[in-house]
């Protein structure tokens, strides 16, 4: 359905995330992956969706040569806990600190998507609230050692072992926590 709607466009996904790539495949969208290095730095006064909106937009600005047929999709996800953004951990020590801070608490997972063409630009976002049980140091260390979650905001993947054993509830889109609010992207692309 969406494939037919987009047949005259070149869909470009600017993401290394295998999960985001799989979502577009599952939506049956023909797309190309194009990556441009962007230093993901944002003004410190930004909060919550302002951060992810800014970063998704920043990633789209690296593409200055879009044609009339191109539709560029960029995205960014953070975990928001106690008035602080958690991005991707740099190493095992940082992943441990993040997971320790999430233990026995609720947090928000916020993802923004920039959809851009030569004549159109829209940024959308979604927020999902996730609750963690208390997780032990042993569980955290096991997860980090076996799953190496260094490419995931907040240092965890809901679809991995830690999600199975630690997440007690979610309010909102599961797919948003994985890294893309697919239902919102679908709606925007259908409305193009």
| pLDDT one-digit tens code per residue, 107-157 | 999 999 999 999 899 999 999 999 999 999 999 999 999 999 999 999 999
Per DSSP, the three-state class of 63 is coil
Determine the Cα–Cα distance for residues 157 and 118; give it in Å rounded to an integer: 34
The C-alpha angle 103, 95, 101, rounded to 5 degrees, equals: 25
Identify whether the C-beta of residue 69 lies closer than 8 Å to the C-beta of residue 9. Answer: yes
Determine the Cα–Cα distance for residues 138 and 121; give it in Å rounded to an integer: 46
> What are the backbone angles phi and psi of residue 170, rounded to the nearest 5°?
-135, 145
SS3 content of the chain, % helix, strand, coil (to 5): 40, 25, 35
pTM: 0.94
Show the tokens assigned to 1: 């359905």
50-59 average pLDDT score = 97
Residue 139: how many other CB atoms lie within 10 Å:
17
- Mark whether 65 is an active-site residue: no
Determine the Cα–Cα distance for residues 179 and 136; give it in Å rounded to an integer: 25
Domain that holds residue 53: 2-190
Look over the chain and give the mean of its residue pLDDT values, rounded to a whole number: 96
Q: Which of 57, 70, 76, 151 is catalytic?
A: 76
Q: What is the pLDDT of residues 88-109, one digit of tens each?
A: 999 999 999 999 999 999 999 9
Q: Above pLDDT 70, what percent of the chain?
A: 100
**In this predicted structure, what is the pLDDT of residue 149?**
95
Domain count, the chain: 1
Beta strands per DSSP E along the chain: 10-13, 31-33, 70-81, 84-86, 106-116, 121-132, 167-171
**In this predicted structure, what is the pLDDT of residue 179?**
93
CATH code of 18's domain: 3.90.950.10
**Region at 172 (left for phi over 0; alpha for psi -120 to 50; beta for the rest):** left
Q: The dihedral of CA 99, 125, 128, 25: what is its sign? A: negative
């Amino acid at each position: 359905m969406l494939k037919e709607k987009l047949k005259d466009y070149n869909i470009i996904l600017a993401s290394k995330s295998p999960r985001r790539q799989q979502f577009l495949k599952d939506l049956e969208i023909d797309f190309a992956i194009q990556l441009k290095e962007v230093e993901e730095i944002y003004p410190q006064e930004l909060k919550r969706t302002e951060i992810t909106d800014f970063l998704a937009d920043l990633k789209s600005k690296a593409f200055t040569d879009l044609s009339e047929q191109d539709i560029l999709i960029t995205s960014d996800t953070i975990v928001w806990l106690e008035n602080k953004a958690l991005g991707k951990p740099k190493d095992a020590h940082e992943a441990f600190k993040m997971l320790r801070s999430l233990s026995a608490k609720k947090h928000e997972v916020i993802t923004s998507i920039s959809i851009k063409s030569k004549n159109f630009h829209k940024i959308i976002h979604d927020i999902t609230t996730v609750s963690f049980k208390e997780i032990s140091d042993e569980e955290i260390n096991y997860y980090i050692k076996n799953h190496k979650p260094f490419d995931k905001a907040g240092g965890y993947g809901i679809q991995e072992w830690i999600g199975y054993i630690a997440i007690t509830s979610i309010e909102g889109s599961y797919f948003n926590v994985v890294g893309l609010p697919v239902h919102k992207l679908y709606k925007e692309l259908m409305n193009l």
